[in-house]
Amino acid sequence: MKYSEEFRNIPLFKLWVGPLPFLILYHPDTVEVILSNSKYIQKSYPYKFLHPWLGTGLLTSTGKKWRSRRKMLTPTFHFTILADFLDVMNEQANILVQKLEKHVDKEPFDCFLYITLCALDIICETAMGKNVGAQNNKDSEYVRAIYRMSELIHHRQKSPWFWPDLIYSLFQEGREHSKNLKILHTFTDNVIAEKASQLKNQKHKSDAVINGEQSKSKVRRAFLDMLLNTTDENGKKMSYLDIREEVDTFMFEGHDTTAASMNWCIYLLACYPEVQRKVHKELDEVFGDSDCPITMDDLKKLQYLESAIKEALRIFPSVPFFARTLSEEIHMKGFKVPKGTDCIIVPYALHRNPDIFPEPEEFRPERFFPENSAGRNPYAYVPFSAGPRNCIGQRFALMEEKTVLATILRHFQVETKQRRNDLHPVGELILRPNKGIWIQLKRRPPSST
């Protein structure tokens, strides 16, 4: 960040990290060169350390495999399929509200883990169709393994002496990595086998049959159900290993990122009471005093809340930087960049360009009103990346964030005494606050609508 501010008028710089040179990009023009071109889709070396867990799924694969997999998986994120997941999001958001009740009118508390466990429950049920009950049992072996694995991978990425597999396996950390990997893969394997067996028994019927009677309720689908039926252009089904790669990828990518985004948004709303009042006003207009579940139509009406989420993602993007390796030599802004160079794109710096976002540290959801977004360079704001390799789950993420945040804010008013200087954001695999998000909750009075 220091260098990106110092070189604000120069759209790129080179940074040596140990023996490796990285090209750092933080200006829309240079970011566009990489993200808009389907040639530059290869992820850089540090992603290699995700392979033992995620294989070469959608996040880590490249070339022909990535193109084929992306084509196969895109239909599973269709709007009508996402609508099926809203019940899960409502249920888990309501459990979260029950957990938060004990903090109403009490001392400040760290909300980060509460929201993260809710996001984990949502992704487990929507990705795998498995209710792990993380909000009620944060000590489950699977939940612990997911968090520990993320820590181990990030630490290894920063530790060149741990890069060789043989050396890593000799250390305690490497052995712990193997142990957690086994827990994660065994869990996913068991869920896939169980789901495949269920599908076989149901013969792909959309309605459950219970005790010989047709049930009125529709069977809840998960991504896993769809993956088991997905075929490529040649009509070939995905293997169990292929399916595990994608389910593990959904689990990894689909909970930490949304959890971080919701936490940062809650923090910013607590810091800016006038913005929170506008969100509450919109919620009152849409729901009144009703406590009925949120529908897809309701979500469409929550435009100001959506703008607040987008603005929170601008200030605190869940993925603060991501990287690509150049497959050929390119020229960029008068500089020759050799083939094989690792380029790091830094949304955290990109989103703070004062020419595009005046007073960039200020939280102003109005920046994302349609009339204010019109004409803005599409590569000036990339919380979900951009171009051909953009995030396949961004609509799912936005839907989840709106549902959970709307549910919290229908019940509570949020306050904080935590100053921005005390947050100390840490750029790990996702952007986390070093010491949590400390808030106080007040019960909301009945709406006047």
Residue-wise pLDDT tens digits, 11-45 = 899 998 777 789 999 999 999 999 998 888 899 88
As a whole number of angstroms, the distance between CA 169 and CA 175 comes to 6
Task: Check pLDDT > 80 for residue 220.
Answer: no
What is the distance of C-alpha 325 from the center of its chain? 22
Is the model's pTM score more than 0.75?
Answer: yes
| Region of poorest pLDDT, from 80-84, 174-178, 205-209, 323-327 | 205-209
Q: What stretches of 159-208 show up as alpha helix (H) in DSSP?
A: 165-170, 172-202
Residue with tokens 């007040």: 442
Q: What are the pLDDT digits (tens) for 324-373?
A: 999 999 998 889 999 999 999 999 999 999 999 999 999 999 999 999 99
Walk me through the domains of the chain, giving residue ranges and CATH numbers: 36-319+383-443 (1.10.630.10)
Averaged over 304-315, what is the pLDDT? Answer: 98
CA–CA distance, 327 with 324 (Å, rounded to integer): 9
Query: Above 50 in pLDDT, residue 204?
Result: no
Judged by DSSP in three states, 22 sits in: strand
Top-confidence range, 163-172, 228-237, 250-259: 163-172
Between helix 112-123 and helix 240-271 the angle, nearest 10°, is 150
Percent helix, percent strand, percent coil in the chain, to nearest 5: 55, 15, 30
**C-alpha distances in angstroms, 210 versus 199, 213, 220, 225, 357?**
15, 5, 14, 19, 56
Give Cβ neighbours of residue 306 (< 8 Å, ≥ 6 apart): 368, 398, 402
Dump pLDDT digits (tens) for 102-142.
999 999 999 999 999 999 999 999 999 888 899 998 788 99
Torsion angle of the four alpha carbons 132, 443, 307, 90, in this order, in degrees rounded to the nearest 10: 30
Question: Is 25 strand, coil or helix?
Answer: strand
